[in-house]
Structure 1
């Protein structure tokens, strides 16, 4: 149970630890709900912060916890992101926003811009695959694959492994087929070459 002394101590610890706006807003809401201070202005004066700051942080605390979890961390709840989410919360309601956040997390969206587009605008994000690089590892026995959006694939590593195995096998079969065709053509060319040499030599005789 908070009292004015413990509330001040907790507030100082939150600020010293670099707590997010959302986490501080949740603390402000708890202090007011427990009637540690009678108003936002009284709390702001007691904690040495501005009334407008208290108001902004309290607004962020209204964002459902499911939405914050979908973002990955309260620290990702910047002023801009918070403003967008609060607007969507007012327009669409809590249940709709929570449903979109749960769906976004289940679908594997990781980037903040993608999450916000899906949760706030209810649109499918246009994802940029980016350039994939494959390099030979230092041990000369394995390959290193560099992906710009690796986090998207982490929940699907087992499927990715199966796909890579099948794709590499198919690629190797294709390469072996090409080698076999090239060897066959070279062999045929070699068989026909002696006759051509003989005719060429005869044509040069006086």
Structure 2
């Protein structure tokens, strides 16, 4: 889009976008900026925003989806830069399964968890059970003739000392996993 055909508001908006690009801001902030362009009717459509910013319409769509991530969830990751488009998609799936209020409640209960990997936070938001994902400690197997699942682990003797807690943890994880299926 030629800058001489832009209104003053559009030129200011474009300057704001370019300033954020130079600062290498998060996709969340870019998305919120794009949403504000549409809300303030600086541009009338996602296509116009895309054209003005020199990005694709699907990219604008993904930025707008990123803008919907609740502040409480962003806070859980510790830094908005840790949230990628892939993370936004995973969060959207979790929100669809659990509902926005439960997603936010879980995020608030977890607090800031920059000590955990993104996938660990996503697993916690999905299941309600937040724990670091370590190397494989257990293996679960179901045999066709059996109506139950077997748990295999080299640390079984250590785990058997606290079976009620282990059972509670497995049930919490399974509840979250079943919601995602």
Q: Is contact 1:40–1:51 with CA below 8 Å preserved after alignment? A: yes
Q: Is contact 1:25–1:58 with CA below 8 Å preserved after alignment? A: yes
Q: CA deviation at 1:88?
A: 1.1
Alignment partner of 1:37 is 2:43 = yes
CA-to-aligned-CA distance 1:182-203 (integer Å, 9 cap, x gap): xxxxxxxxxxxxxxxxxxxxxx
When normalised by structure 2's length, the TM-score is 0.64
State the structure with more CA Rg: 1
Q: CA deviation at 1:113?
A: 2.9
Q: Give the one of 95, 104, 111 matched to 1:105.
A: 111
Gaps of 5+ in 1: 130-206
Gaps of 5+ in 2: 1-7, 136-181
Q: Comparing both chains, which one has the higher relative contact order based on Cα–Cα distances under 8 Å and sequence gaps of 6 or more?
A: 2
Q: CA deviation at 1:80?
A: 2.1
Mapping for residues 86-101 of structure 1, pairs under 5 Å: 86-101=92-107
Mapping for residues 62-101 of structure 1, pairs under 5 Å: 62-101=68-107
Q: Give the one of 13, 29, 35 matched to 1:23.
A: 29
CA-to-aligned-CA distance 1:144-195 (integer Å, 9 cap, x gap): xxxxxxxxxxxxxxxxxxxxxxxxxxxxxxxxxxxxxxxxxxxxxxxxxxxx
Q: Is contact 2:46–2:60 with CA below 8 Å preserved after alignment? A: yes
Task: Please give the secondary structure, in 2, of the residue aligned with 1:125.
Answer: coil
Partners of 1:14 and 1:109 in 2: CA distance? 24
Task: Please identify runs of 4+ aligned residues in structure 1 that moved more than 6 A.
Answer: none
Q: Is contact 2:77–2:114 with CA below 8 Å preserved after alignment? A: no
Q: Is contact 1:60–1:86 with CA below 8 Å preserved after alignment? A: no
Structure 1 match to 2:62:
56
When normalised by structure 1's length, the TM-score is 0.57
Q: Is contact 2:76–2:110 with CA below 8 Å preserved after alignment? A: yes
Q: CA deviation at 1:70?
A: 1.0
Partners of 1:77 and 1:109 in 2: CA distance? 12
What's the C-alpha RMSD, in Å, of the aligned pairs? 2.1
How many residues in Structure 1 have an aligned counterpart in Structure 2? 127
Structure 2 match to 1:122:
128
Partners of 1:92 and 1:128 in 2: CA distance? 25
